[in-house]
Amino acid sequence: RLRRQRSEITLAHVGRRLAVAASFSHVREEGLVFDARGGGALELGAGRHLGMRLAARWHLGEWALFATASVIRSRLAAADNPLLAGASALVATSYGGGLARRNLLAAGDELRLGYLAPLAVRHGAALFRLPTGRDYAADRFLFENRSVRLAPARRERDLELAYGLPLGGGLRLDLGVRALAHPGHVARAGWGMEGGIRLGWRY
């Protein structure tokens, strides 16, 4: 059975120049880890995640500096299966920041340059129960527990340039291009590029 429950509280202060917010969350998942399913011999049990996110934006006239950081601590439990014996506490983090400029080419537009390190496990390991042999005298298989580190060898880092322009009548055009180092936290992935165009309407 798959189940996900989330509760969150946010404290915020918005001033003339400085806006800050702190969010605290508790997530309980069953059969999932960050919305990812397990299955078969790696069927997942219940997991609990405690998270904290900080965000700030500092306005300097038409310019603004922004920054975000988050940390999540997770405790996972394996379901009744022969391979996954359990996991230590997992600690995942993300952070980013950048610079924004409003009213650059037209009233209400915004140009933004940002840096982001997406959410990634930094500490933690899974414990697997692996077969090592068979005891013929006792007629049973032999197992040993082996710890596998879950933090990636390389972490994804993104550099983004984005521009948003209001077109009137609730329409808004957003353009963006992003350079990704080690996308998906894959060490051999090198560099990647992606871009997008979005036309939105708010009514």
Q: Measured between alpha carbons, how far is 164 from 170 in angstroms, rounded to an integer?
A: 13
Average the pLDDT over 95-99 and give the result: 98
Reduced to 3 states, what is the DSSP secondary structure of residue 125? strand
Per residue in 108-140, pLDDT (tens digit) is 999 999 999 999 989 888 888 888 899 898 888
9: burial class by Cβ within 10 Å (0-12, 13-18, 19+)? exposed
Per residue in 131-169, pLDDT (tens digit) is 889 989 888 888 888 888 888 888 999 999 999 999 988
Length of the chain: 203
How many Cα atoms occupy the beta-carbon half-sphere of 64 within 13 Å? 20
The DSSP symbol for 103 reads: S
* C-alpha radius of gyration, the chain, whole number: 23
Q: Are 138 and 128 in contact (CB under 8 A)?
A: no
Average the pLDDT over 69-96 and give the result: 81
Least confident interval from 61-65, 74-78, 122-126: 74-78
Name the band, by pLDDT with cuts 50, 70 and 90, for residue 40. Answer: very low
pLDDT of residue 54: 98
Instruction: Indicate the average pLDDT of the chain.
Output: 87
C-alpha distances in Å from residue 195, one per residue of 29, 69, 134, 157, 171: 33, 24, 55, 16, 20
Residue 102, pLDDT > 90, answer: yes
89-116 b/e (C-beta count within 10 Å ≥ 16 → b): ebebbbebebebbbeeeeeebbbbebeb
60 C-beta neighbours (distance < 10 Å), count: 9
Better-scored residue on pLDDT, 103 or 124:
103
Residue 198, pLDDT > 90, answer: yes
Residue 31, pLDDT > 70, answer: no
- Predicted structure pTM score: 0.77
Least confident interval from 58-67, 78-87, 115-124, 172-181: 78-87
Q: Measured between alpha carbons, how far is 149 from 171 in angstroms, rounded to an integer?
A: 47
Q: Are 149 and 191 in contact (CB under 8 A)?
A: no
Q: Measured between alpha carbons, how far is 64 from 87 in angstroms, rounded to an integer?
A: 42
Please say whether the dihedral angle defined by the alpha carbons of residues 3, 151, 7 and 77, taken in this order, is positive or negative.
positive
Average the pLDDT over 188-198 and give the result: 92
Q: C-alpha dihedral over 109, 63, 96, 22, to 10 degrees? A: -100
Quote the Cα angle for 91-43-126, to 5°. 35
172, two tokens: 């808004």
pLDDT of residue 160: 97
